Amino acid sequence: MKEAVITVVYPDADTFDEHVEAVLKMLPDTRCFPGCIEAHAGINRERFEIAVFHLWESNDHLERYLTWRAERGDLDARSATMRREQDFRTFSVP
């Protein structure tokens, strides 16, 4: 079963542009990762929010991707400059 991910990131206002740049830079690697069907980002400059949308072939593919990102330090790299913890939700797609 496919797995969808929706993540909303809440950077500090003064680091927002850096976060946007980092997220956009990560997307090509995400799209090329085995099992990724699609990956997109939405930017809301008024609320200083970044939404990231992924669709994966399976939860196993998503888990391998998250492990890879964590091992590289990508998931922690920006967390020090967030005004609150990100929302991370997954959904099984029949």
Closest CA to 54 of 19, 94, 21, 91: 91
Q: Per-residue pLDDT averaged across 7-15, rounded?
A: 94
Q: How many domains does the chain have?
A: 1
Q: Which residue has the tokens 């997307």?
A: 27
Quick one: which of 91, 78, 67 has its CA closest to 25? 78
Structural domain boundaries enclosing 21: 2-93
User: Looking at residue 78, which CATH number applies to its domain?
Assistant: 3.30.70.100
pLDDT at 78 over 80: no
Q: What is the tens place of the pLDDT at every residue in 40-77?
A: 999 999 999 999 999 999 999 999 999 999 899 887 76
